[in-house]
Amino acid sequence: MTPEVTVPPPRPTSARPIALGRPRAVQTAVSTDVRLRARGVSVRYGQALAIDDVSLDVHDRAITAIIGPSGCGKSTLLRVFNRMNDLIPRARVEGRVEMDGVDILGRDIDVVRLRRHVGMVFQKPNPFAMTIYDNVAYGPRRHGVRGRSRLDEIVEHSLRRAALWDEVRDRLKKPATGISGGQQQRLCIARALAVEPSVILMDEPCSALDPIATLKIEDLMTDLARDYTIVIVTHNMQQAARVSHYTAFMLAGEDRTGRLVEFGLTDSLFTAPSDKRTEDYITGRFG
Amino acid sequence: MTRELFEKKLREMQDDVLIMGSMAEKAIQRSIDALRTRDVSLSNAVIADDMAINAKRYEIEEKCIHTIALQQPMAADLRVLVAILFIANELERMADHAEGIGRINLMLGDEPLPRPLGEIGEMADKAGDMLRRSLTAFVERDAESARRICDEDDVIDHLYDAVYHALIQEVIRTPADMQRITYLIWTSHNLERIADRVTNICERIIFMVTGQLEEINVSRY
């Protein structure tokens, strides 16, 4: 068999992927530019060390999945990327996370501005108790966008981008709580997109959805990854395998502190993980 | 957490591969014995038994597909199942080569062999031995043995060279026997292909153990 003439992307930092001998053509499409560079990130809640010394590169315009058993610190790490841990009393974050060369954990960072660049979608769809239109227009208005036609434009663009426009275009002035769970989650994605972020964090975005709605979100994520950097926390390994380009596996030890065990190309991690603990977890032998 | 059901299915499929391996090995050996002794009924048995080997291959394939769909294996588990799928296919094709040798014996009809089998018998023994050891390497997850077996394909290739050239000389010497001598060339070619398929099995074993897809030994034919 003749190897395909393709160039695999460079090995991600802190990864130990075992690349298959014949790199798949699809791998060439995966971005290797780094959008978020985490170095030595640790998070404490009071005295408890929740995650310890995590370093990884989140690649630009790619989907990075964070997987691991409950309590391994996946969501804690995700929240580091837009400083959501700042909202938790007694939470303390150490280390650096660089975005465009700037440490977003720095004290002088405007957190509101940061969250405009790094949007978040949560586990349970959480539309505001207002109309569909106002949900999407909420962020732009907060950031000073005025003018009906400009807002109309943003709302339509964001809803189209979230693959929801055709389903709600005739009921933009209806309450957002009246649409289905899957639609609500896509509305939340549209709301995040409306402020033009470059990174979207998703914390178990499909865990409250049925399989059809889940597949719609997954298709949407794949589509969005052409323009946005996506980091998703998921318990669903098949979902991580299906949608992500890179996967990080975290695990908490007996000290209940989460650590990054392995990070690499999803293709490699799910076919030939380099760490025994990753192998055991993804083959269902513990966790 | 253990995956008892999955482990049980895997053991079953591994046993099926071993059973199919013995069926293929037996077919190879019997096809050559039949040719050596000009035993037409034994060749007919080899040809008839090929149906059972084909059926076994589909049975293994079906079990693999069900297990992949229902158990969603990952990493090493997935690699084992992929290896089983490939190995079953290779064994089935090996048995087809044995069936081919069986048909050659039928084509010879009442005519005697143009010359004794000689190295052709040696090729069959060597190929059968490589097959047996490759399946042991599969069960023992032994990539190093698999690599060594791949290297042994050169021995078969050299035997094939020797047989081929000797038979061509024979054709030049006795052109009237060309048809029957050609049948022996076909026989040796079938055995050479069987050894290549053992090499393919070994490549799958290496992939199963290491996660690396490698082409170990490129056949010259």
Residue showing tokens 């693999």? B64
Query: Tokens standing for A278?
Result: 């990753």
Query: Tokens standing for A161?
Result: 């981008």
**pLDDT score recorded for residue B216:** 76
Measured between CA atoms, the residue of chain B closest to residue A277 is B75
Which residues of A are less than 8 Å from B75 in CB distance? 270-273, 278-279, 282-283
**Amino acid in position A104:** I
Q: Does B210 touch chain A (CB under 8 A)?
A: yes
**pLDDT score recorded for residue B217:** 66
What's the average model confidence in pLDDT over B111-127?
Answer: 95
Residue B174 sits at φ, ψ, to 5 deg, of: -130, 75
Rounded to an integer, what distance in angstroms lies between the CA atom of residue B163 and that of residue B119? 7
Query: Quick check: A20 pLDDT over 60?
Result: no
pTM of the full predicted structure? 0.80
Query: Tokens standing for A172?
Result: 């933009």
Residue A66 sits at φ, ψ, to 5 deg, of: -110, 120
Torsion B121-B122-B123-B128 (CA) sign = positive
Rounded to an integer, what distance in angstroms lies between the CA atom of residue B186 and that of residue B170? 15
**pLDDT score recorded for residue A94:** 97
Q: Does B1 touch chain A (CB under 8 A)?
A: yes
Most B CBs within 10 Å: which of A274, A283, A285, as the mutation test of the B interface? Answer: A283
- Work out whether strand A91-99 and strand A102-103 pair parallel, antiparallel, or are unpaired: antiparallel
Q: Are B184 and B121 a contacting pair, CB within 8 Å?
A: no
Of A254, A209, A201, A256, which is closest to residue A230 (Cα–Cα)? A201
Q: Are B126 and B194 a contacting pair, CB within 8 Å?
A: no
Contact state of B79 with A283 under an 8 Å Cβ cutoff: no
Q: Shortest Cα distance from A182 to chain B (angstroms)?
A: 25
In Å, what is the CA distance from A167 to each residue of A117, A160, A172, B188? Answer: 27, 10, 10, 67
Rounded to an integer, what distance in angstroms lies between the CA atom of residue A236 and that of residue A30? 22
Q: Shortest CB distance from A283 goes to which of B73, B213, B214? A: B73
Contact state of A285 with B6 under an 8 Å Cβ cutoff: no
**Each residue's pLDDT tens digit, B128-168:** 999 999 999 999 999 999 999 999 999 999 999 999 999 99
| Mean confidence (pLDDT) of chain B | 94
Q: Shortest CB distance from A21 goes to which of B3, B72, B214? A: B214
**Each residue's pLDDT tens digit, A143-185:** 899 999 999 999 999 999 999 999 999 999 999 999 999 999 9
Q: Does A271 touch chain B (CB under 8 A)?
A: yes
Secondary structure element (H or E) that encloses residue B45, with its range = helix B40-71
**Nearby residues of A167 by Cβ (< 8 Å), 6 or more positions away:** A179, A183
Which residues of A are less than 8 Å from B76 in CB distance? 272, 279, 283
Give the range among A12-21, B5-14, B72-81, B173-182 with minimum mean pLDDT: A12-21
Rounded to an integer, what distance in angstroms lies between the CA atom of residue A71 and that of residue A259? 11
Rounded to an integer, what distance in angstroms lies between the CA atom of residue B129 and that of residue B117? 18
**Each residue's pLDDT tens digit, B82-108:** 999 999 999 999 999 999 999 999 999
**pLDDT score recorded for residue A136:** 98
Helices (H), B118-177: 119-140, 143-151, 153-173
Question: What ranges make up the beta strands (E) of chain A?
Answer: 34-45, 48-59, 63-67, 91-99, 102-103, 118-121, 199-203, 229-233, 246-252, 258-265
Query: Quick check: A27 pLDDT over 50?
Result: no
Which residues of B are less than 8 Å from A20 in CB distance? 211-213
Q: Shortest CB distance from B76 goes to which of A283, A286, A287? A: A283
**pLDDT score recorded for residue A202:** 97
**Each residue's pLDDT tens digit, A97-125:** 999 999 999 999 999 999 999 999 999 99
Query: Quick check: A15 pLDDT over 50?
Result: no
Residue A212 sits at φ, ψ, to 5 deg, of: -70, -50
DSSP state letters, A81-126: TTTGGGGSTTEEEEEEEEETTEETTSTT--HHHHHHHEEEE-SS--
What's the average model confidence in pLDDT over A45-69?
Answer: 97
Rounded to an integer, what distance in angstroms lies between the CA atom of residue B78 and that of residue B67? 10
Contact state of B75 with A20 under an 8 Å Cβ cutoff: no
**pLDDT score recorded for residue B2:** 59
Q: Does A270 touch chain B (CB under 8 A)?
A: yes
**pLDDT score recorded for residue A275:** 96
Q: Does A1 touch chain B (CB under 8 A)?
A: yes
Q: Does A275 touch chain B (CB under 8 A)?
A: no
Query: Quick check: A244 pLDDT over 80?
Result: yes
Please tell me what DSSP assigns to residue B174: -
Residue showing tokens 């005739």? A170
**pLDDT score recorded for residue A11:** 34
Of B20, B172, B199, B152, which is closest to residue B98 (Cα–Cα)? B20
Rounded to an integer, what distance in angstroms lies between the CA atom of residue A250 and that of residue A262? 7
**Amino acid in position B93:** R
**Nearby residues of B203 by Cβ (< 8 Å), 6 or more positions away:** B146, B150, B213, B214, B215, B216
Please tell me what DSSP assigns to residue A26: G
Rounded to an integer, what distance in angstroms lies between the CA atom of residue B194 and that of residue A284? 37
Give the range among A208-212, B58-62, B77-81 with minimum mean pLDDT: A208-212
Q: Shortest Cα distance from B62 to chain A (angstroms)?
A: 21
**Nearby residues of A262 by Cβ (< 8 Å), 6 or more positions away:** A15, A16, A248, A249, A269, A273, A274, A275, A277, A278
Of A182, A251, A185, which is closest to residue A213 (Cα–Cα)? A182
Contact state of B74 with A270 under an 8 Å Cβ cutoff: yes
Query: Quick check: B50 pLDDT over 90?
Result: yes
Query: Tokens standing for A281?
Result: 């977890």
Q: Does B69 touch chain A (CB under 8 A)?
A: no
Which residues of A are less than 8 Å from B74 in CB distance? 237, 241, 270-271, 282-284
Torsion A278-A281-A287-B4 (CA) sign = negative
Residue showing tokens 């035997």? B159
Residues listed for chain A: 287
Query: Quick check: A285 pLDDT over 80?
Result: yes
Q: Shortest Cα distance from A11 to chain B (angstroms)?
A: 16
What's the average model confidence in pLDDT over B53-70?
Answer: 95
Please tell me what DSSP assigns to residue A131: B
Rounded to an integer, what distance in angstroms lies between the CA atom of residue A182 and that of residue A187? 9
Query: Quick check: A23 pLDDT over 80?
Result: no
Rounded to an integer, what distance in angstroms lies between the CA atom of residue A239 and that of residue A65? 9
Q: Shortest Cα distance from A155 to chain B (angstroms)?
A: 40
Q: Shortest CB distance from A271 goes to which of B2, B6, B79? A: B79
What's the average model confidence in pLDDT over A8-25?
Answer: 35
Which residues of B are less than 8 Å from A237 in CB distance? 74
Query: Quick check: A199 pLDDT over 90?
Result: yes
| Burial (CB count <10 Å: 0-12, 13-18, 19+), residue A265 | buried
Query: Quick check: A59 pLDDT over 90?
Result: yes
